[in-house]
């Protein structure tokens, strides 16, 4: 009986094995197709990448197209296998085939990205053909216009490249690191990290490319009001407006770029304009009229830019000989730090007999326009024309560089945009939205969580911000009655009394979540504290004065709105957004948070962070750009 049973089992097993062998043989053609097409696709994609590196875009386009077709063939063959009865009902085979599908999908998306890059490259290379310098400046007017047209019309393709890179990152992230690809998982991890880096670079480039055509005056001529803000004399949107300029762009050509002393506008109309300034300017700056030089009173650049333009139009209209340019498509604010970074890239420049470099630019320029112009015999009326000469020389140097320098230039621009040393305001709502989404518009950040922005305004303290050391300490405690915050702003005066620096005087505004309740203050020089609401923020305002060689502190203690405390309970999350004031130099940002719940995770992790307490956490960071801190419970 036992022998009969064994015989039946053996026969049955043999039949089943034979059945599976037949099935495997039936699908062997699919596996062969997958294998051969994948090898060809891999080789074509690798060739395409190498060809892109050497700018052979025509050949790269052909290779990436072949890679895409082969990856597609492999995926179609794999789909047939995945749908089969034998492979769809065995968990192990399903997992293996799923990993193969993820790899092939990533390859196909990368091939599509390479195709798009190659197609844009072909158009660009056609315009640069025969141009040995390979620079924008060396192109003729028509070629500049054509290049801007390529950028303008290729916006969907640029975003498509980014999307395909992100899809490839997602596909590679779906591969089981301990599965069939375990022996080469490090290679997949490395590739995924490189693609993430590339995607982050695209995040920086895309908004700039979107804004570039309009900034360059394409497809229509564009006039910009250029505002140079001196951060050594800090004002709410970046610094004192000592110089303004007019920039006219037409299809990549600078039709006009000149700069002027702000007093060229303000002084001739001082008896023709009578606008009442904000109360703090009257009280601490000692002025009874409001002029363009003090018009950037708002930390939100879009708001200050509109106010600046309105002052320009009013004052220009009151001049005996008004400038013919009255309408602008936007207002651009820059600080000397941006120019310093450009000089670090270009190297020293000779302008009007002076050598300017990254180390002496700020001090040399300030001396020439404040003191040196007398010794040089330059009329005071023309003392700030040097600024325009420097900008023109920089423009010529940078646009004369090879397109190979583009990535480094993008990094410089991105760094200065993050630091708010460049700020844009556009009247075109679509372009302004792009600037806002890229955090290039200098607008007050709107959020529903915790928020902090410290805004200093130098009140008749010369260029004393250059010698001030500033740091911010923010602590929060979660008690039974809610969330209680303490903010301490530290000021160290490292200067003295001279032609450039004096005692520091700042009208300081602190932006916090709307509905915050001020409990106590300390360190206010005149004892007066104003509390008001602005947009979705509550603002605390106070004045502080610090003598040379001394230390000053402003302290604000307040209770946060109940909604933020409730979010910790309902959403299991706390967010703090700290926003940088344009032009400010905060040497240290120290955050210390204590909650009544255990912290499960947090970001960022890259700064000096301490989470030893379990329900408490602290960071030692900087405020070179906006920072966001997130905690999950």
pTM exceeds 0.75: yes
* Shared domain check, 207 and 279: no
* Shared domain check, 206 and 230: no
Contact 632, 601 (CB under 8 A): yes
pLDDT more than 90, % of the chain: 74
Residue 14, exposed/middle/buried by CB under 10 A (0-12, 13-18, 19+)? exposed
Amino acid 382: pLDDT: 52
In this model, does residue 522 exceed pLDDT 90? yes
Contact 396, 137 (CB under 8 A): yes
Q: In this structure, is residue 310 part of a structural domain? A: yes
Q: What is the mean pLDDT of residues 180-199?
A: 90
pLDDT more than 70, % of the chain: 91
In this model, does residue 373 exceed pLDDT 50? no
Question: Tens of pLDDT along 615-633?
Answer: 999 999 999 999 999 999 9
Amino acid 601: pLDDT: 95
In this model, does residue 250 exceed pLDDT 90? yes
Q: Which structure tokens are listed for 621?
A: 């960071």
Which CATH number is 504's domain given?
A: 2.60.40
Q: What's the total number of domains in the chain?
A: 3
* Shared domain check, 253 and 192: no
* Shared domain check, 242 and 198: no
In this model, does residue 18 exceed pLDDT 70? no
Contact 511, 444 (CB under 8 A): yes
Amino acid 146: pLDDT: 94
In this model, does residue 25 exceed pLDDT 60? no
Q: In this structure, is residue 11 part of a structural domain? A: no
In this model, does residue 341 exceed pLDDT 60? yes
The more confidently predicted of residues 93 and 537 is 537
Q: In this structure, is residue 58 part of a structural domain? A: yes
* Shared domain check, 408 and 343: yes
CA atoms within 13 A on the CB side of 504: 31
Question: Tens of pLDDT along 108-163?
Answer: 999 999 999 999 999 999 988 877 777 888 889 999 999 999 999 999 999 999 99
Q: What is the mean pLDDT of residues 412-432?
A: 96
Amino acid 280: pLDDT: 98
* Shared domain check, 287 and 165: no
Amino acid 404: pLDDT: 81
Amino acid 134: pLDDT: 79
* Shared domain check, 241 and 204: no
In this model, does residue 169 exceed pLDDT 70? yes
Amino acid 379: pLDDT: 45
In this model, does residue 375 exceed pLDDT 50? no
Listed range (256-260, 384-388, 583-587) with the worst mean pLDDT: 384-388
Q: In this structure, is residue 333 part of a structural domain? A: yes
Q: How confident is the model at residue 87 (pLDDT cuts 50, 70, 90)?
A: low
Pick from 181, 254, 252: which is nearest to 216 by CA?
252
* Shared domain check, 431 and 316: yes
Q: What is the mean pLDDT of residues 543-571?
A: 97
The more confidently predicted of residues 606 and 312 is 312
* Shared domain check, 464 and 421: no
Amino acid 370: pLDDT: 66
Rounded Cα distance, 632 and 410, in Å = 34
Amino acid 24: pLDDT: 53
Q: In this structure, is residue 4 part of a structural domain? A: no
Contact 532, 539 (CB under 8 A): yes
* Shared domain check, 415 and 305: yes
- Range among 191-205, 287-301, 364-378 rated most confident: 287-301
The more confidently predicted of residues 218 and 370 is 218
Q: In this structure, is residue 164 part of a structural domain? A: yes
Amino acid 13: pLDDT: 43
Rounded Cα distance, 254 and 276, in Å = 37
Q: In this structure, is residue 206 part of a structural domain? A: yes
* Shared domain check, 546 and 408: no
What is the domain extent for residue 459?
450-632
CB-based contacts of 393, cutoff 8 Å, min separation 6: 349, 351
In this model, does residue 6 exceed pLDDT 50? no
Quickly tell me which residue has 């490292």 as its tokens.
494
Of 177, 197, 215, the last residue of a domain is 215
Pick from 364, 351, 348, 353: which is nearest to 391 by CA?
351
Amino acid 376: pLDDT: 43
Amino acid 391: pLDDT: 87
Which CATH number is 281's domain given?
A: 3.40.630
Contact 136, 148 (CB under 8 A): no
In this model, does residue 381 exceed pLDDT 70? no
Q: How confident is the model at residue 204 (pLDDT cuts 50, 70, 90)?
A: confident
Cis amide prior to 219 (ω within 30 degrees): yes
Listed range (137-146, 167-176, 422-431) with the worst mean pLDDT: 137-146
Q: In this structure, is residue 20 part of a structural domain? A: no
Of 407, 437, 467, the last residue of a domain is 437
Q: What is the mean pLDDT of residues 455-482?
A: 97
* Shared domain check, 398 and 277: yes
In this model, does residue 259 exceed pLDDT 70? yes
Rounded Cα distance, 458 and 587, in Å = 18
The more confidently predicted of residues 32 and 107 is 107
H helices then E strands: how many in the chain?
17, 21
Phi/psi at 261 (5° precision): -65, 135
Q: How confident is the model at residue 86 (pLDDT cuts 50, 70, 90)?
A: low
In this model, does residue 193 exceed pLDDT 90? yes
Of 402, 437, 472, the last residue of a domain is 437
H-helix or E-strand spanning residue 190: helix 185-215
Q: What is the mean pLDDT of residues 256-279?
A: 95
Residue-averaged pLDDT of the chain: 90
């Amino acid at each position: 009986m036992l022998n009969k049973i064994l015989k039946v089992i053996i026969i049955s097993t043999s039949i089943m094995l034979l059945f599976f062998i037949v099935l495997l043989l039936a699908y062997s053609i699919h596996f062969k197709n997958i294998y051969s097409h994948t090898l060809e696709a891999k080789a074509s994609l690798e060739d395409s990448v190498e060809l892109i590196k050497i700018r052979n875009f025509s050949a790269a386009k052909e290779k990436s197209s072949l890679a895409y077709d082969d990856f597609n063939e492999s995926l179609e063959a794999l789909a047939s296998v995945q749908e089969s009865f034998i492979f769809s009902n065995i968990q192990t085979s399903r997992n293996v085939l799923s990993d193969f599908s993820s790899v092939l999908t990533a390859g196909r998306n990368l091939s599509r990205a390479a195709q798009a890059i190659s197609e844009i490259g072909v158009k660009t290379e056609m315009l640069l053909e025969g141009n040995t310098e390979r620079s924008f400046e060396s192109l003729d007017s028509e070629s500049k216009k054509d290049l801007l047209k390529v950028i303008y019309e290729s916006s969907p393709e640029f975003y498509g490249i980014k999307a395909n890179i992100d899809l490839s990152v997602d596909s590679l992230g779906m591969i089981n690191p301990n599965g069939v690809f375990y022996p080469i998982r490090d290679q997949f991890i490395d590739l995924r990290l490189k693609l993430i880096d590339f995607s982050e670079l695209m995040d920086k480039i895309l908004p700039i490319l979107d804004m570039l055509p309009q900034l360059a005056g394409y497809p229509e001529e564009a006039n910009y009001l250029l505002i140079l803000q001196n951060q050594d004399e800090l004002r709410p949107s970046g610094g004192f407006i000592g110089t303004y300029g007019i920039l006219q762009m037409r299809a990549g050509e600078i039709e006009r770029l000149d700069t002027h002393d702000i007093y060229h506008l303000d002084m001739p109309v001082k008896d023709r304009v009578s606008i009442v300034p904000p109360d703090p300017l009257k009280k601490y700056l000692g002025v009874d009229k409001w002029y363009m030089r003090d018009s950037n009173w708002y930390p939100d650049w879009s708001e200050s830019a509109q106010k600046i333009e309105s002052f320009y139009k009013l004052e220009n209209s009151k001049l005996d000989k008004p400038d013919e340019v009255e309408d602008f498509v936007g207002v651009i604010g820059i600080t000397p730090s941006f120019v310093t970074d450009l000089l670090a890239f270009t190297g020293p420049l000779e302008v009007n007999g002076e050598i300017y470099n990254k180390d002496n630019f700020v001090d040399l320029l300030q001396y020439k326009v404040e003191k040196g112009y007398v010794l040089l015999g330059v009329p005071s009326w023309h003392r700030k024309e040097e600024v325009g000469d420097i900008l023109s020389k920089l423009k010529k140097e940078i646009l004369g560089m090879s397109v190979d320098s583009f990535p480094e230039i993008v990094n410089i621009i991105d760094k200065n945009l993050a630091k708010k040393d460049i700020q844009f305001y556009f009247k075109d709502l679509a372009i302004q939205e792009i600037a806002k989404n890229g955090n290039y518009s200098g607008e007050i950040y709107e959020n529903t969580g915790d928020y902090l922005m410290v805004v200093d305004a130098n009140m008749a303290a010369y260029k004393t911000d250059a010698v001030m050391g500033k740091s911010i300490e923010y602590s929060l405690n979660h008690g039974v009655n809610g969330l209680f915050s303490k903010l301490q702003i530290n000021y160290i005066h490292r200067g003295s009394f001279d032609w450039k620096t004096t005692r520091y005087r700042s009208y300081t505004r602190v932006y916090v979540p709307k509905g915050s309740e001020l409990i106590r203050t300390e360190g206010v020089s005149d004892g007066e504290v104003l509390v008001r609401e602005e947009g979705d923020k509550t603002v605390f305002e106070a004045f502080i004065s610090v003598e040379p060689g001394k230390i000053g502190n402003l302290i604000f203690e307040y209770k946060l709105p109940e909604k933020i405390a409730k979010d910790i309970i309902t959403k299991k999350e706390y967010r703090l957004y700290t926003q940088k004031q344009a032009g400010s130099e905060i040497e240290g940002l120290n955050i210390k948070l204590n909650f009544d719940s255990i912290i499960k995770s947090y970001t960022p992790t890259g700064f000096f962070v301490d989470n030893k307490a379990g329900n408490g956490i602290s960071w030692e960071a900087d405020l070179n750009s906006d920072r966001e801190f997130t905690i999950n419970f």
